[in-house]
Amino acid sequence: MHQNRKHLAMRHTVLALLPVALGLSGCGGGDSSSAVDLPALAAALPATFSGDCTTLPTVLGTLPNTTITSATTVAAGTVANVTTAEHCRVVGKMNERVSAVDGNPYYIGFEIRLPKTWNGRFFYQANGGTDGAIGTASGGVGGGGALSTALSKGFAVLSSDAGHQSQTTPFFGLDPQARLDYGYNAVGQLTPMAKNLIKSVYGKAPDRSYLGGCSNGGRHALVAASRYADQYDGILAGAPGYNLPKAAVAQLWGVQQYAPLATGRITSVATAAGVTSTVDLPDVSTAFTPAELSMVSSKILGKCDALDGVADAWVGDVAACQAAFSVANDVPTCSGARDGTCLTPAQKTVLSNVHSGAKNSSGTALYSSFPFDAGIGSTSSSGWAAWKFGNATSVGRDPGATAFIFTTPPQANPTTFTGLPFALNFNVDTDAPKIFATSGLYTESAMSFMAPPNPANLSKLRDRGAKIIAYHGTSDPIFSFNDTVSWFQSLMAANNGDASSFARLYPVAGMNHCSGGMAVDQFDLLDPLVNWVEKGAAPASVTAAARGTGTSAIAALVNAEVPATWSPGRTRPLCPWPTVARYNGSGSTEVAANFSCKS
Ligand SMILES: [Ca+2]
């Protein structure tokens, strides 16, 4: 601790000299963060718990506002498809209460898994969607089909429902406190509790603490990096939906773009309670057929594949692809009926607009643009069509989240709420601003409780020696890769042009939302993060593998979207943005070693 304080004091001295140094080195090339001596954090030391898990509730009975409901031994075996050693699973709840607004009971539910042989580290597993369920506390290391977890590595891992017990409906948003718990306060409450719990079990608090997740979990990660920088040494942010309410609004805007193109009709809609009513509305999933999206994907591939140095059915240089490809020039225009080989002029306009990003009627951006990527043809549940048409019209996803959690005041009644009508009737001029609104009952806006207070300013995290690694699939249809690049650029700007002393962004070319797609999506970014935090080893390229047919005996771990022309286990380097994995010019194109991260 004393050593860290000394380093911090030194840092302030260096900062005071910076303007002079920058003046001498000219503009644009500032490198203050790497020039500054950030404190080095000591490596975590292992410990063991040799006692009986079932006695833990007695030991843990003094945690404030916390009830332990069970503590059981989990024998060595498979957890989240990964071989895992014996551990204790402790389940509990914090801050039990009954809402004065909706009359429903609430608490912050959690489980924490405590290895008998512990590596001295804590991992907060931030979950996806609108939370509401305690996912198995295994601790994801990034991507899909991971071969290890934080738990299998020996971390103590916590997972929570973020303060409400309803995973499939968004109606908890009626309760003001449940909104805040979901946004940030569950992490704020659970983190010190978990550290105290760990101390009670092992005799010491965690030496090092990490928080990671993807999607909403990536949002939690950036929120924690901003709000709870004093609590975490390493942050792993996957597909960070750090502008989540804006992304949801953009989805509703998208539904309104697709509607005029639809050839099919929807004749009934259902509430969360299963009450159906007869309607006659456009079926937006018919705006672009799978054949049309596959055709667009092939056109993108044709134009962009070779830009990374090799035509290998993989677009590695996504930035160059944006300059090379255009819907107007590279997608055939239908001269007759739609047959899957062309798009109508109206379809081309919508596809361009959707990638340019949602805007209100006066042209003001409501969210980010999206890059064109060959993954647009994905037919998986994490792919383009599933998100743009399915989740954008479902009660539990974008319409419901916007109606009940993200707009103030909440805009609908749970008993009658249906997704598609809400999306079609959402007013992007008068309703969209409600994600910034407050009221007497709802004193924080959604953009206040969901977004990091200032994602560009992570100086507190930086200055204590903590590190952050982000990753994002370039084919992500819901949280735009471009939005994450915008964040990273703002972080660089706030650090005189270079945040590399404490932050890395790894694009995952072709990956859908958090996993899947025409991508090498099996990777582990947790080990590089730990090595950076605890050994000062800054990460460079990280090898990722495809999960094609035959790469795993577990069917769920095989990615059906790996192209047949690829070796099923093809590897590629993940490269720190803005470098790109480029073919070296010789050797097998199926092997990462023959690619290098270059600008
Ligand atoms: Ca290529």
pLDDT digits (tens, 9 = 90+) for 344-356: 999 999 999 999 9
Looking at 413, 448, 483, the residue that finishes a domain is 448
481 pLDDT higher than 90:
yes
- Which residues are paired to 125 by β-bridges? 159, 212
- In the block, tokens 């954090």 appear at 41
**Cα-to-centroid distance, 365 and ligand 1 (Å):** 32
Three-state secondary structure call for residue 319: helix
Query: Which amino acid is residue 408, in one-letter code?
Result: T
CB 283 within 8 A of CB 312: no
Strand 571-574 with 264-270, pairing: unpaired
**Cα-to-centroid distance, 589 and ligand 1 (Å):** 9
Q: Report CA Rg, the chain.
A: 24
**Cα-to-centroid distance, 325 and ligand 1 (Å):** 14
> Which tokens go with 7?
């380093």
Q: Is there a single domain that holds both residue 401 and residue 366?
A: yes
Strand 208-214 with 234-238, pairing: parallel
Query: Per the domain annotation, does 543 fall within a domain?
Result: yes
Q: How far apart are CA 558 and CA 549, in angstroms?
A: 6
Query: Per the domain annotation, does 41 fall within a domain?
Result: no
Average pLDDT over residues 256-285: 97
Q: How far apart are CA 524 and CA 212, in angstroms?
A: 12
Query: Per the domain annotation, does 35 fall within a domain?
Result: no
Q: How far apart are CA 520 and CA 313, in angstroms?
A: 12
Q: Is there a single domain that holds both residue 252 and residue 399?
A: yes
Q: How far apart are CA 424 and CA 420, in angstroms?
A: 6
CB 338 within 8 A of CB 292: yes
> Which tokens go with 79?
């957890």
CB 458 within 8 A of CB 226: yes
Backbone angles phi, psi at 315, to 5 degrees: -90, 95
Average pLDDT over residues 51-79: 90
What integer pLDDT is reported at residue 33 of this predicted model?
44
Active site residue 215: yes
Find the helix packing angle between 216-227 and 186-202, rounded to 10°.
80
496 DSSP 8-state letter: T
The pocket of ion ligand 1, defined by CB under 5 A, consists of 305, 308, 312, 314
Q: Is there a single domain that holds both residue 319 and residue 383?
A: yes
Q: Is there a single domain that holds both residue 103 and residue 229?
A: yes
**Cα-to-centroid distance, 500 and ligand 1 (Å):** 27
Query: Per the domain annotation, does 40 fall within a domain?
Result: no
Question: Alpha helices, DSSP H only, in 169-310?
Answer: 176-180, 186-202, 216-227, 244-258, 290-304
Mean pLDDT of all residues belonging to the chain: 93
Q: Is there a single domain that holds both residue 491 and residue 471?
A: yes
Query: Per the domain annotation, does 37 fall within a domain?
Result: no
Range of the domain at 20: 2-30
> Which tokens go with 63?
């945690």
**Cα-to-centroid distance, 336 and ligand 1 (Å):** 33
**Cα-to-centroid distance, 347 and ligand 1 (Å):** 27
Active site residue 472: no
Q: Is there a single domain that holds both residue 443 and residue 455?
A: no
Looking at 404, 425, 448, the residue that finishes a domain is 448
Stronger pLDDT, 487 or 57, i.e. the higher one: 487
What integer pLDDT is reported at residue 36 of this predicted model?
60
Among 463, 476, 483, 521, the one annotated catalytic = 476
**Cα-to-centroid distance, 69 and ligand 1 (Å):** 52
**Cα-to-centroid distance, 91 and ligand 1 (Å):** 47
Q: Is there a single domain that holds both residue 225 and residue 139?
A: yes
Q: Is there a single domain that holds both residue 311 and residue 358?
A: yes
Query: Per the domain annotation, does 549 fall within a domain?
Result: yes
> Which tokens go with 391?
């989740």
Query: Per the domain annotation, does 36 fall within a domain?
Result: no
CB 571 within 8 A of CB 545: yes
**Cα-to-centroid distance, 305 and ligand 1 (Å):** 4
pLDDT digits (tens, 9 = 90+) for 164-189: 999 889 999 999 999 999 999 999 99
**Cα-to-centroid distance, 529 and ligand 1 (Å):** 28
> Which tokens go with 309?
């140095």
Q: Is there a single domain that holds both residue 197 and residue 284?
A: no
What pTM value is reported for the model?
0.93
Quick count: other Cβ atoms within 10 Å of Cβ 200? 15
Q: Is there a single domain that holds both residue 20 and residue 165?
A: no
- Residues 422, 162, 234, 544: is their CA dihedral positive or negative? negative
> Which tokens go with 66?
């916390």
**Cα-to-centroid distance, 307 and ligand 1 (Å):** 6
Query: Which amino acid is residue 145, in one-letter code?
Result: G
Contacts of 51 (CB under 8 A, 6+ apart): none
- In the block, tokens 């908890």 appear at 172
42 pLDDT higher than 60:
yes
Confidence of residue 490 (pLDDT cuts 50, 70, 90): very high
- Please provide the size of the chain in residues: 599
Q: How far apart are CA 26 and CA 14, in angstroms?
A: 18
Among 33, 166, 215, 475, the one annotated catalytic = 215
Query: Per the domain annotation, does 187 fall within a domain?
Result: yes
Active site residue 87: no
Q: Is there a single domain that holds both residue 163 and residue 102?
A: yes
Q: How far apart are CA 321 and CA 304, in angstroms?
A: 5
Looking at 448, 476, 495, the residue that finishes a domain is 448
**Cα-to-centroid distance, 332 and ligand 1 (Å):** 23
Considering its fold, how many domains does the chain have in total?
A: 3
pLDDT digits (tens, 9 = 90+) for 308-365: 999 999 999 999 999 999 999 999 999 999 999 999 999 999 999 999 999 999 999 9
Confidence of residue 61 (pLDDT cuts 50, 70, 90): confident
CATH number, domain with residue 153: 3.40.50.1820
Among 87, 220, 472, 513, the one annotated catalytic = 513
Q: How far apart are CA 575 and CA 598, in angstroms?
A: 8
Q: Is there a single domain that holds both residue 362 and residue 234?
A: no
Q: How far apart are CA 21 and CA 553, in angstroms?
A: 57
- In the block, tokens 């105290």 appear at 196
Average pLDDT over residues 566-590: 98
Quick count: other Cβ atoms within 10 Å of Cβ 175? 26
Average pLDDT over residues 44-61: 88
What integer pLDDT is reported at residue 516 of this predicted model?
97
Q: Is 137 left (phi over 0), alpha (psi -120 to 50) or beta?
A: beta
